[in-house]
Chain A
C-alpha cells in the first residue's frame, strides 16, 4: 500500500514535469493557422520548414555559439590561473577574494545583469562602440568564472604540493613543470569548468538580455518570439532543442555511465 502511494506520487510529479513539454512537442506538428494553435488539425511539418528559413534565428544561433565558445575558453584560461593563484594565498586574502568571486553566484541574476550593463555601457561610450557580441562575451566570462574556479580549486587542494617542487628539483623550468605535472593533475576540474561555462553561456537569458544591445542570442530570440505569442514555430524550436539535449545527455550518459552534468553539479555543489 505504502509503496503504491509513493509510486503514484512520483508518477504525478513526473507527469507535472513532462506534460507541458510533451504538449509543446505534439503541437509543433500541428497543421493549423496561427490563430487557433490549441486545436489539433492534422499532422504537418510546416512550422519546421518556416523555422529553417528564418534568417534571424540562424543568426541568433551563430551568435550564441560564438559567445559560448569564447566565454568558455576565456573563463577557463582566466579561472584556472586564478585558482592556482588563490590556492597559494594566505587565509584572509583568500577569504576576501573568494567572497568577491562568489558574489555573481549569490546575487540575483538580474542585479548582476544590470550592474554589468551599467559598466559595459560606460565602457562602450568610452571607446565609441555599441553593445554587441563583444560585451556579451565579457559579461559571460564574468559569470562563468566562479564555476571554473570552484571546480579547479578542489583538484589543486587534492594535489601533492611536493610534486611541483620535485619536478623543478629534477630540472624542469616552472612553466614546464606546470604543463608536465600540475595541469595533468587538475585537468578533470578544468574540463568540468569549461563544459559548465559553455552550457551556462548557451542557456543564459537574463544577463545577455541586459548586455547585448540589439544583438540577439538564441534565448533572447526565443524571448522575442514568446512576446508575439502566436507562432507554433516556437513549439518546433522547442522540440528540436529538446531532442538535441536528450541525444547529447544520452550520449554522455552512455560514455561515462554517470548522471549529472552541469546543472546537477551546480545544484549539488552549491
Chain B
C-alpha cells in the first residue's frame, strides 16, 4: 500500500508533542531563569541524591514484594479450570479500574492514627500502632496499587506455556519442584520482565502515594519534581533537570531489562 502520506499529520503531531517537549525539558535543565546556559541545575540534582536513593529503594522494594506475592497468584490462576480463570482474572483487574487516588485514599482511612486498624486494636485493648506517614505505608500503598500490573503479564506468559513441555520434563523424571525450577520458571521470564518494568517505573516516579501515605517526611523524586512546577519551591529549571535525570535513569533501566528479553521481541520496536 502506498500510503506514507497518511502518517503526515501524525508525524507533525509527534514532533510537536513528543520530541519538542523532551527538548524543552533538556533546554530548561541546562539554562537558568534568564535563559543563559548553565550546568548549575544538573549539579544541584546531586544534592537530592538521598531522595533518588530513597525512591529507587522504595520502588525496588515494592517491585520485589509485588513479584513475590504476585507470582504465586498468577501461577495458581493459570492452573485453575478455564471457567474459574476468567473469574479470578476479572477480580484481579476490577480494582485497577478504580482510580488509584481512591484506592490510596482507602488505605489512608485504614492506616491513620485514629483509623480503622487502630480503632480495632484499641477494641482488643492493644496499644495504638503508628502506621501512616512511614515508609512502610508508602510501600504498602504502592504494592496495593500496582500488584495487578505484576499478576497480569505473568499470568499471560504462564498460561501460554505448552503443557507438553512440562509433561516431557515429568516423563524424563523431574519431580514437581525441578519441573518448576528448570522449566516453568525460566519460561515465565518475559512475563516477569514486563511485570517488573510495569511496577517499578510508576513506583519510582510516584508523587501522590508518597504524599498521601508518606506525609512530608518521605519525599520521593516525583514529589520533588511536582514541587518545582506546581508546588511551593517554584523552579522549573531545577525541576526539568531532575526530570531529565529521572528519564535517563528509567530509559537505562528499560534498556537493561530489554537486553534480558531481546530474544522474544526481535524486530518489533523497543518494547513491543
Interface residues of A (CB under 8 A from B): 6, 9-10, 13-14, 16-18, 20-21, 23-24, 27, 36-39, 78-79, 81-89, 95, 97-112, 114-119, 122, 138-139, 141-142, 145, 149-150, 161, 164-165, 182, 199, 203, 205-206, 209-210, 218-219, 222-223, 226, 229, 234, 237-238, 241-242, 245-246, 249, 253, 259-261, 263-264, 267-270
Contacts and interface: CB of A to CB of B under 8 A. Distances in A.
Contact of B108 (A79, A102, A145, A229): A229
Given A78-B10, A249-B94, A263-B97, A20 B22 contact: no
25 contacts: A9-B76, A23-B106, A23-B110, A38-B119, A81-B10, A84-B1, A97-B11, A98-B270, A100-B14, A101-B14, A102-B270, A103-B18, A106-B250, A106-B254, A108-B250, A109-B205, A111-B205, A114-B25, A138-B17, A222-B101, A226-B104, A226-B105, A234-B105, A242-B98, A263-B152
In this complex, the member of B93, B106, B112 whose beta carbon has the largest number of chain A beta carbons within 10 angstroms is B106
A267 B13 contact: no
Given A108-B201, A118-B28, A118-B240, A81 B9 contact: yes
B119 A253 contact: no
A27 B254 CA distance: 42
A105 B95 CA distance: 21
Contacts of A205: 99-101, 208
Contacts of A164: 1
B181 interface: no
Interface string B189-230: 000001001100110110110001000000000100110011
A267 B93 CA distance: 10
Q: Is the interface of B mostly helix, strand, loop or mixed?
A: helix
Given A20-B144, A106-B251, A10 B110 contact: no
Contact of B25 (A105, A115, A165, A222): A115
A249 to B, nearest CB: 7
A219 to B, nearest CB: 5
Closest 5 CB pairs of A and B: A85-B7, A82-B10, A108-B205, A115-B21, A20-B106
Given A14-B91, A97-B14, A264-B152, A108 B202 contact: yes
Contacts of A86: 7
In this complex, the member of B20, B116, B222, B269 whose beta carbon has the largest number of chain A beta carbons within 10 angstroms is B269
A226 B106 contact: no
Q: Is the interface of A mostly helix, strand, loop or mixed?
A: helix
A118 B99 contact: no
B99 A203 contact: yes
A117 to B, nearest CB: 7
B1 A13 contact: no
Given A38-B119, A103-B18, A116-B17, A98 B269 contact: yes
Interface stretch (B42-50, B82-90, B166-174): B82-90
B269 to A, nearest CB: 4
Contact of B18 (A104, A219, A241): A104
A122 to B, nearest CB: 7
Contact of A115 (B73, B76, B243, B271): B243
In this complex, the member of A14, A109, A115 whose beta carbon has the largest number of chain B beta carbons within 10 angstroms is A115
A170 B72 CA distance: 57
A106 to B, nearest CB: 6
B246 interface: yes
A59 to B, nearest CB: 18
In this complex, the member of A27, A81, A150 whose beta carbon has the largest number of chain B beta carbons within 10 angstroms is A81
A114 B99 contact: no
A114 B229 contact: yes
Given A115-B24, A267-B148, A223 B90 contact: no
